[in-house]
Structure 1
Amino acid sequence: MSRTLLSAEEVADGLRGLAEGWSVAGQALVRTVEFDSFLTAVRFIGELAPVAERLDHHPDLRLSWRTVELNLSTHSAGGLTALDFELARELDAIIDRLGRAG
């Protein structure tokens, strides 16, 4: 997966391919997900970890009770790359499988 910076148009196109809740803040993709429990939030992080290792791309995370804040950016490229969107799509699949609070 490419670590080449995306244009503003490519970023906008990429956002259209992601689940609702993702946005761009500065040079990062961000999303906050509220799960039904603390254990589910921790399970999400546990399932996220092997995906991040496989892609060799590791998000910045913040866990607060049952809420996980995700921040994806390719730091070595100085912004957003196709790799960030690939990771976001894989995280969307995990989130859909685990469910969210609602």
Structure 2
Amino acid sequence: MEKLTELDIEKRILQFPDWYFEDDAIHAEFEFDNFKDCFSAMSRIAFECEAQNHHPDWSNLYNVLKISLSTHDVNGVTKKDFKLAEAIDAIVIPEDE
């Protein structure tokens, strides 16, 4: 897997309005109505991570989920990170938005 250039990352991230690039990773923060909804999303995301064999750095505090994605093998962002970000968005962002 090849590390993306900053220019390529900045172009790709335009398709992901809830994400930003910083410190060799892409990051997002999602707020849910309550802890149960947040944990439910985390569980669904975990199954997707296993399917893609790519795992985020993440944290949860009550109803807020913070996620950072990078490909540790290349110490930066790859297409793999954007593929997982797209799947995460499909899980946490309602379709009517």
TM-score w.r.t. length of structure 2: 0.93
Given the alignment, which residue of 49, 52, 55 partners 1:52? Answer: 49
Query: Which residue is 1:14 aligned to?
Result: 12
Q: CA deviation at 1:98?
A: 8.8
Establish whether residue 90 from structure 1 lines up as the match of residue 90 from structure 2: no
- Runs of 4+ deviating beyond 3 Å: none
| Number of equivalenced pairs | 96
User: Where does the alignment leave 5 or more consecutive residues of structure 1 unmatched?
Assistant: none
SS in 2 for 1:90: helix
**What code does the residue aligned with 2:24 have?**
Q
C-alpha RMSD over aligned residues: 1.5
Identical pairs, percent: 27
TM-score, reference length from structure 1: 0.88
Deviations 1:13-54 (A, max 9, x none): 110121x22101101100111001100000011000111011
Match of 1:67 in 2: 64
- Structure 1 contact 33–69 (Cα < 8 Å) conserved: yes
Shift of 1:97: 3.7
